[in-house]
Amino acid sequence: AQSVSQHNHHVILSEAASLELGCNYSYGGTVNLFWYVQYPGQHLQLLLKYFSGDPLVKGIKGFEAEFIKSKFSFNLRKPSVQWSDTAEYFCAAEESYIPTFGRGTSLIVHP
Protein backbone atom coordinates (compact mmCIF):
# COMPACT_ATOMS: atom_id res chain seq x y z
CA ALA A 1 0.00 0.00 0.00
CA GLN A 2 1.06 3.51 -0.71
CA SER A 3 2.38 5.63 2.13
CA VAL A 4 3.26 9.31 2.23
CA SER A 5 5.68 10.78 4.76
CA GLN A 6 5.91 14.41 5.66
CA HIS A 7 9.06 14.90 7.69
CA ASN A 8 8.25 18.17 9.37
CA HIS A 9 5.18 18.17 11.58
CA HIS A 10 5.57 21.72 12.82
CA VAL A 11 7.51 24.52 11.19
CA ILE A 12 7.86 28.03 12.55
CA LEU A 13 9.36 30.75 10.37
CA SER A 14 9.63 34.51 10.25
CA GLU A 15 8.27 36.43 7.32
CA ALA A 16 10.58 36.51 4.28
CA ALA A 17 12.27 33.27 5.29
CA SER A 18 12.47 30.51 2.72
CA LEU A 19 10.35 27.40 3.08
CA GLU A 20 10.89 23.80 2.12
CA LEU A 21 8.53 21.07 3.30
CA GLY A 22 9.56 17.50 2.68
CA CYS A 23 7.33 14.79 1.23
CA ASN A 24 8.25 11.23 0.33
CA TYR A 25 5.99 8.57 -1.12
CA SER A 26 6.52 4.84 -1.21
CA TYR A 27 5.19 3.59 -4.55
CA GLY A 28 7.71 3.08 -7.33
CA GLY A 29 5.25 3.07 -10.21
CA THR A 30 3.22 5.84 -11.74
CA VAL A 31 1.84 8.24 -9.18
CA ASN A 32 0.17 11.60 -9.31
CA LEU A 33 1.37 13.98 -6.63
CA PHE A 34 -0.30 16.92 -4.93
CA TRP A 35 0.05 19.51 -2.23
CA TYR A 36 -3.05 20.75 -0.48
CA VAL A 37 -3.33 23.61 1.98
CA GLN A 38 -5.81 24.28 4.76
CA TYR A 39 -5.84 27.85 6.03
CA PRO A 40 -7.25 28.43 9.52
CA GLY A 41 -11.01 28.07 9.47
CA GLN A 42 -11.11 27.17 5.81
CA HIS A 43 -11.47 23.98 3.82
CA LEU A 44 -8.71 22.06 2.09
CA GLN A 45 -7.74 23.43 -1.29
CA LEU A 46 -5.29 22.41 -3.97
CA LEU A 47 -1.93 24.21 -4.07
CA LEU A 48 -0.36 22.36 -6.95
CA LYS A 49 -0.20 19.01 -8.68
CA TYR A 50 2.15 16.88 -10.75
CA PHE A 51 0.94 14.33 -13.26
CA SER A 52 3.77 14.21 -15.79
CA GLY A 53 6.19 16.41 -17.75
CA ASP A 54 8.29 19.16 -16.19
CA PRO A 55 9.21 17.95 -12.69
CA LEU A 56 9.18 21.50 -11.36
CA VAL A 57 5.57 22.55 -10.93
CA LYS A 58 4.29 25.94 -9.93
CA GLY A 59 1.17 26.47 -7.92
CA ILE A 60 -0.82 29.29 -6.46
CA LYS A 61 0.57 32.02 -4.19
CA GLY A 62 4.19 31.56 -5.27
CA PHE A 63 4.54 27.94 -4.21
CA GLU A 64 6.41 25.38 -6.26
CA ALA A 65 7.31 21.73 -5.87
CA GLU A 66 9.92 19.50 -7.44
CA PHE A 67 9.31 15.87 -8.32
CA ILE A 68 12.49 13.79 -7.94
CA LYS A 69 11.67 10.27 -9.03
CA SER A 70 14.94 8.75 -7.86
CA LYS A 71 14.30 10.03 -4.35
CA PHE A 72 10.55 9.37 -4.33
CA SER A 73 10.19 12.96 -3.23
CA PHE A 74 7.90 15.89 -3.95
CA ASN A 75 9.09 18.74 -1.76
CA LEU A 76 7.20 22.01 -1.50
CA ARG A 77 9.10 25.30 -1.63
CA LYS A 78 8.52 29.00 -1.40
CA PRO A 79 11.38 31.51 -1.53
CA SER A 80 9.83 34.05 0.85
CA VAL A 81 6.91 33.22 3.13
CA GLN A 82 4.28 35.64 4.34
CA TRP A 83 2.23 35.70 7.51
CA SER A 84 -0.77 34.68 5.39
CA ASP A 85 0.96 31.38 4.56
CA THR A 86 0.22 30.18 8.08
CA ALA A 87 -1.71 26.98 7.46
CA GLU A 88 -1.57 23.21 7.45
CA TYR A 89 0.01 21.63 4.38
CA PHE A 90 -0.75 18.13 3.14
CA CYS A 91 1.15 16.13 0.58
CA ALA A 92 -0.80 13.44 -1.30
CA ALA A 93 0.02 10.67 -3.75
CA GLU A 94 -2.56 9.05 -5.97
CA GLU A 95 -2.02 5.52 -7.15
CA SER A 96 -4.70 3.57 -9.05
CA TYR A 97 -7.17 6.37 -8.40
CA ILE A 98 -6.84 6.13 -4.62
CA PRO A 99 -5.28 9.12 -2.85
CA THR A 100 -3.02 8.73 0.17
CA PHE A 101 -2.32 11.79 2.27
CA GLY A 102 0.56 12.59 4.53
CA ARG A 103 -0.18 13.57 8.13
CA GLY A 104 0.33 17.23 7.41
CA THR A 105 2.76 19.97 8.36
CA SER A 106 1.62 22.87 10.46
CA LEU A 107 3.35 26.07 9.32
CA ILE A 108 3.33 29.18 11.49
CA VAL A 109 4.78 32.35 10.04
CA HIS A 110 5.57 35.14 12.46
CA PRO A 111 5.20 38.70 11.17
Partner 1 sequence: KAGVTQTPRYLIKTRGQQVTLSCSPISGHRSVSWYQQTPGQGLQFLFEYFSETQRNKGNFPGRFSGRQFSNSRSEMNVSTLELGDSALYLCASSPTSGRAGELFFGEGSRLTVL
Residues that bind partner 1 (CB under 8 A): 1, 32, 34, 42-46, 49, 51, 90, 92, 94, 97-104
CB of 97 to partner 1, least distance (A): 3
Instruction: Kindly tell me which of 9 and 110 has the beta carbon lying closer to partner 1.
Output: 9
Q: How far apart are CA 32 and CA 45, in angstroms?
A: 16
Which amino acid is located at 60 in the chain? I
Minimum CB separation of residue 84 from partner 1 in Å reads: 20
Distance CA 73, CA 71 (A): 5
4 to each of 18, 26, 76, 84, 85, how far by Cα in Å?
23, 7, 14, 26, 22
Nearest-approach distance from CB 13 to partner 1, in angstroms: 22
Nearer to partner 1, 11 or 17 (CB): 11
